[in-house]
A and B are shown apart, each in its own frame.
Chain A
Amino acid sequence: MIPSEELKEDKSDHHGHHHCASERCDKCDSELKHTIYCTACEKIQQYNKTMNYFSIFGVSPGYDIDKKEVTAAFERLIFALHPDMYVNGSKEDQALSLSHTALLYEAKETLFYPFKRGRYLLSLLMPGFDGMIPQPPQAFVLEMFEIQEELDLVQEGSGSLKQTEARINLLLQEIDEALSADFKAYIPNREDKMTAGKILSNLAKLKFLDNLGERIRMIGKNLRDNLN
């Protein structure tokens, strides 16, 4: 079995390619505010191809999201969907409730983390994109080596973890701003291959930094342990 990094990228079945604003309820035909649940007749909707992680929460697909809005929708939906609310429901509703609750959690998790959100959004926008993220640019990799060396020093007890963390946070902020701008340009113009390339490159950087974050976490834990 190959732990192939390229293939390992998660490929969810819930990718829809168009966000359609006027979805209608399976049961009562009311217009849906959230594609996953009808607030008019309280019916969980069957999974369909147009459902995506943005439409579930009733927000339009984009890199910039309003976390408060998503959280508020999440808290409404979880009460509507959770299996504990369907203990006396039909078998069909119980099954939908279970799978949709898992879907709702996954959707929230995806929208809340910049890398996951960016990669998911790109998979909605770019036909043929299967989640494979390329290697980041050479210059960036070299910069990462430098940061790794800084962290080695911290581990040996001579560097400053705070300083390195600040450096990483600055990088994250730059990437976040670039992704926001690039997605704004790309959404209305999907033929723009150059912008798509920039997005991919920034996603690759984010992925790298996420892994680095894990290492910083471990170092932080060791430092705390040593203080005990």
Chain B
Amino acid sequence: MSELIIGIDLGTTNSMAAYVSETGAEIIEDSYFTTQTPSVVSQTENGLLVGAEALNQRTNYPRTTFTSFKRFMGRGAKDISENLTLSPFKVIIGERDKILIGEEGAQLSPEQISAEVLREIKRKAEIILGKAVKKTVITVPAYFDDAQRQATKDAAQIAGLEVTRIINEPTAAAIAYGLQENKKGKIAVYDFGGGTFDVSVLELKDRLFRVISTRGDTHLGGDDLDNLIIRRMIRDILPEVKDEKELSPETIQRLKRSSEILKIALSTNLETSLEIELPERGIKTKYSLSQKEFEEEIRPKVEETLAHVKEALHDAELTAGDIEEVVMVGGSSRIPLVRHLVEAFFGIKPHIRINPEQVVAIGAAIQGHLLSGGRKDYLLMDVIPLSLGIETIGGVFSKMVMKNASIPAKVTEVFSTSVDNQTGIELSIFQGEREFVRDCRKLGKFVLKGIPPMPAGLPKVEVTFFVDVNGLLTVSAKELRSEVESKIEIIPTHGLNRNEITRMIKDSMEYAVDDFNQRNLVEFRDKITTIIDGIDRIWHKADQFVTPDQIEAIAAHRKVMEDLRKNENPMLLKEAIDKMGDLTRDLADSIMGDAAKNILLEDSKKIPKT
């Protein structure tokens, strides 16, 4: 058995983990637990809540319930000049251009908040799999730049997870699709998620999956569609509000929740309505929205995604007609208008058989399996999404590694000095596509010292950019005449510095064991109560479905579980829960009925292992 490397999709709205089991790649969940976790963290009087529990608290703790924080990962002040008036929580810029979220005195970095979600997923995965989870393949939007990738890696490390590989979300989806459908040819992955949009064009060839081009926008997703609905609701039911800043965090959280419900309902209904309650404004009203109205609101955003698709095709030197399949990924790809416009653009029905919310985690798990040595039958060639380079005279951005270059990539160029007897040079490293560095993103800077004094232009400074398989950059420089050299990993100009990360990792390890046991104990006790309640509720008709022997065994184990509730050993509790799961499987299956089972089976369609 190869080492366990799970796949994690750290999404803007939802996160989850998958692994490769005996039967194939699947989401890590069982009858009682799941790693599918809303990406929500809430600071409450009763401590920090994560996932569904945190989401439930958003109107009770509107200022300290954090959602969509993935948007702030690896970002600085310059990047969040966007409109934050609809954010219920505070986002401020701390020292060194670092983003901090939350109320004064209890602020957290986006990396720390993401780490809470990852810690929760790790914990659940360990409970479900019954063993330690240490390594992961984690996914990021293809259009994430170096700083955003680094921030994701840091978050995983803070959560006690070693990142074996960072892979791009659309690429992960393509792996799952390619192996499941065993298709060849050019495909496009259209990934419209909660916060980001990516499109990748790939060539699937025998065992080789090659990304040809990728385009996207890390600020274009379901959240933006929600905001359009929220603004419409404000116009309709709060006409007196002239400035969004007047809205309280609680009102915003309530509007946000309503907009999500409306949006989801409109994927399957032509018209929907719900009651909106805004106690602070004394409003309790029924609000209706039709699919047509919704589509009018969001059409420009969907068209923006198609403009990216056009550019990705152009970069790949292909046309829409060359694409044999369009794989739809991400929750927003469920919207009928999105599917219609994508279909109209490519002239083919998009592929929607694979669950668009789970396919990324599944693909990451398959890649994890490959990287643990579990299989060697396919290979992934991915690319960097944005060009990398340095600032040269006049603020010109001089590209070294071009966008869509396959990784790992190494590029070496020789530069010289501009002043006589210059003994040091400073390199500023940027990422982007524009001509001047002021329009690109600064990744960091780097100094080469100790060059012997020479006339200007004489030193030969060889600069090497190396982009590893994770898409992360290392830069080294060497003066060829004197052999003076220097090397750095890019330290982002903002975000956490290395010391902060090391400290956070240390803290997380110190508390990890106690914390783990304590949290599991609470969770298992809770679960036992739920299970016992469930059994009691259907007990009167159990004999219709299972044999007297089974009934006896369940009753006996029910007693054991009741006694265990006071036990302090979480593993004993877990064993008892698992045993009850086995004992009641027939019962649960029969009661659930065939219709319900079929729906469940459809969703958890597994990918065969080869």
Residues of A within 8 A of B (CB): 1-4, 7-13, 75, 78-79, 82-85, 87-88, 98-99, 101-103, 105-106, 109, 220-221, 224-225, 228
Which B379-406 residues have C-beta < 8 A from chain A? Answer: 379-381, 392-394, 396, 398, 405-406
B310 an interface residue at 8 Å Cβ cutoff? yes
Cβ 8 A contact of B409, one of A10, A75, A102: A102
Cβ 8 A contact of B413, one of A8, A88, A109, A228: A8
Q: In the complex, what residue of chain A is closest to B205 when comparing beta carbons?
A: A75
A1 cross-chain contacts in B, Cβ below 8 A: 392-393, 415-418, 425-427, 461
Chain A binding surface SS class: helix
For the complex of A and B, the 8 pairs showing the least CB-CB separation, nearest first, are A3-B392, A102-B410, A102-B408, A2-B418, A88-B373, A105-B406, A7-B414, A2-B416
Docked CA distance A2–B370 (Å): 45
Are B457 and A87 touching (Cβ within 8 A)?
A: no
Most chain B CB within a 10 A radius of its CB, from A13, A102, A228: A102
Are B371 and A13 touching (Cβ within 8 A)?
A: no
Q: In the complex, what residue of chain A is closest to B414 when comparing beta carbons?
A: A7
Cβ 8 A contact of B393, one of A3, A87, A88, A224: A3
B314 an interface residue at 8 Å Cβ cutoff? yes
A13 cross-chain contacts in B, Cβ below 8 A: 412
Q: Known contacts A1-B393, A79-B379, A102-B466: does B371 contact A87 (CB below 8 Å)?
A: yes
Are B412 and A3 touching (Cβ within 8 A)?
A: no
Q: Known contacts A88-B373, A228-B307: does B414 contact A8 (CB below 8 Å)?
A: yes
| 26 residue pairs bridging A and B, Cβ less than 8 Å apart | A1-B415, A2-B416, A2-B418, A2-B457, A3-B393, A4-B457, A7-B415, A8-B413, A11-B412, A11-B462, A75-B205, A79-B208, A79-B379, A83-B469, A84-B371, A87-B371, A87-B373, A88-B373, A98-B408, A98-B469, A102-B466, A103-B410, A224-B310, A224-B314, A225-B307, A228-B307
Q: In the complex, what residue of chain B is closest to A83 when comparing beta carbons?
A: B469
A10 cross-chain contacts in B, Cβ below 8 A: 411-414
Apart from A11-B412, A109-B405, list 4 A-B contacts with CB within 8 A: A2-B418, A3-B394, A7-B416, A79-B379
A84 cross-chain contacts in B, Cβ below 8 A: 370-371, 379-380, 469
Q: Known contacts A1-B418, A2-B393, A2-B417: does B311 contact A221 (CB below 8 Å)?
A: yes
Which B352-375 residues have C-beta < 8 A from chain A? Answer: 370-373
Docked CA distance A85–B379 (Å): 8
A109 cross-chain contacts in B, Cβ below 8 A: 405
Docked CA distance A101–B407 (Å): 8
B460 an interface residue at 8 Å Cβ cutoff? yes
Closest chain A CB from B372 CB (angstroms): 7
B456 an interface residue at 8 Å Cβ cutoff? yes
Which B69-113 residues have C-beta < 8 A from chain A? Answer: none
Are A83 and B372 touching (Cβ within 8 A)?
A: no
Are B311 and A8 touching (Cβ within 8 A)?
A: no
Closest chain B CB from A24 CB (angstroms): 26
Are B466 and A8 touching (Cβ within 8 A)?
A: no
Docked CA distance A75–B206 (Å): 10
B578 an interface residue at 8 Å Cβ cutoff? no
A3 cross-chain contacts in B, Cβ below 8 A: 392-394, 396, 398, 415
A82 cross-chain contacts in B, Cβ below 8 A: 379
B303 an interface residue at 8 Å Cβ cutoff? yes
A228 cross-chain contacts in B, Cβ below 8 A: 303, 307
Closest chain B CB from A113 CB (angstroms): 11
Docked CA distance A83–B406 (Å): 13
Closest chain B CB from A2 CB (angstroms): 5
Are B392 and A105 touching (Cβ within 8 A)?
A: no
Docked CA distance A79–B378 (Å): 8
